[in-house]
Structure 1
Amino acid sequence: MRLLLMRHGDASWQAPSDSQRPLSDLGQAQVQGQAQAASVDWHGYEQLFASPYLRTQQTSQILQRALQADWLQTNTALVTPGGDCDAVQAFLLAQPQLDSVIVTHQPLISCLIGYFCQGDIYAGEPMLPASLAVLSGDVFARGCMQLETLQHAQ
């Protein structure tokens, strides 16, 4: 199974609250670029989990539109910036075990990479806006996956 973790694109600071920050023009272009990147195999993903924050919702919409994807999307507060890796793992294990995309935030995305690949939340890669990582393994569990692809937005 594959788990594609993506950080939202660059976001504006002009918003009434953190959860309402929209993608900037740069952020929209970053996400579009990642969707079109030849080095990422987007085929076969079936479900998407996203933070309910505006910038992650916009990132999800751009991805699905650009890829002409019809992924089953679930919005969950478990993948907001302060999310907990153990809770994300429990959530994923309770879902159908399908190739999945998670659109989330920093620092959680880095923690998830370290958690799933090394078993250590502090071992993850630094992730810039619109960066993505593809993990693979037999189960979405701590220390049971491998980092296959790491790509930062151009």
Structure 2
Amino acid sequence: MRIFIMRHGEAQNFAPSDAERPLTPRGELQSRQMAEHLAEQLDGQLDMVWVSPYLRAQQTWQTMVDCLPPAAKVMTVDDITPYGEAEQVAAYIKAVIGVERPETLLVVSHLPLVGYLTAELVAGIQPPMFQTSAIAVIDFNPETELATFVEQVIPHG
């Protein structure tokens, strides 16, 4: 199966709280660009999407949804905010994959979690840096729970 871990699009610097920071127009553009790239890799199948409850992550997903195949299941997951614990989130991902057996999972989250989560799933790598809207692509074997880092895709412009 394939896991896509994505950092939200570029967000405004200021808002009443960190959770309320909206995307910038550039963030919307980058997110759409990444959705178009992702659509080519999905082969018409998007089984699960997990999105942080923070506004910028929700808006990232909303800007992507029209470019992607319809997702079978979309969930807002409270544990994938910037303050999420990578070890717990990785365990949750493995448990859900073990039960529901999706072929694809897209996680839309934040720094620093996206980097630590990638390293938690793929043994032996350092947490990668993520530009806004960047996506880490991971092949995950549900039987062995072994993961391989395939690539990191970054937006252009």
TM normalised by structure 1 equals 0.89
| Equivalent runs, 1:1-154 vs 2, <5 Å | 1-37=1-37, 41-43=41-43, 44-95=45-96, 96-98=100-102, 99-118=104-123, 123-139=126-142, 144-154=146-156
Cα distance change of structure 1 residues 55 and 141 upon mapping to structure 2, 3 Å threshold: farther
SS state of the match for residue 14, structure 1?
coil
Deviation at 1:77, TM superposition (A): 1.5
- Computed over aligned residues only, the root mean square deviation of the Cα atoms, in angstroms, reads 2.1
CA contact (8 A) 1:134 1:150 kept: yes
CA contact (8 A) 1:20 1:53 kept: yes
Deviation at 1:153, TM superposition (A): 1.0
CA contact (8 A) 1:45 1:100 kept: yes
Deviation at 1:39, TM superposition (A): 9.0
Deviation at 1:78, TM superposition (A): 1.0
| Aligned-residue identity in percent | 27
Deviation at 1:119, TM superposition (A): 5.0
CA contact (8 A) 1:93 1:140 kept: no
Cα distance change of structure 1 residues 13 and 90 upon mapping to structure 2, 3 Å threshold: same
Cα distance change of structure 1 residues 82 and 63 upon mapping to structure 2, 3 Å threshold: same
Listed as ranges, the gaps of 5+ residues in structure 2 are: none
CA–CA separation in structure 2 for the residues paired with 1:24 and 1:136: 31
Given residue 46 of structure 1, which amino acid in structure 2 is its aligned partner?
D
Deviation at 1:69, TM superposition (A): 2.2
CA–CA separation in structure 2 for the residues paired with 1:140 and 1:25: 42
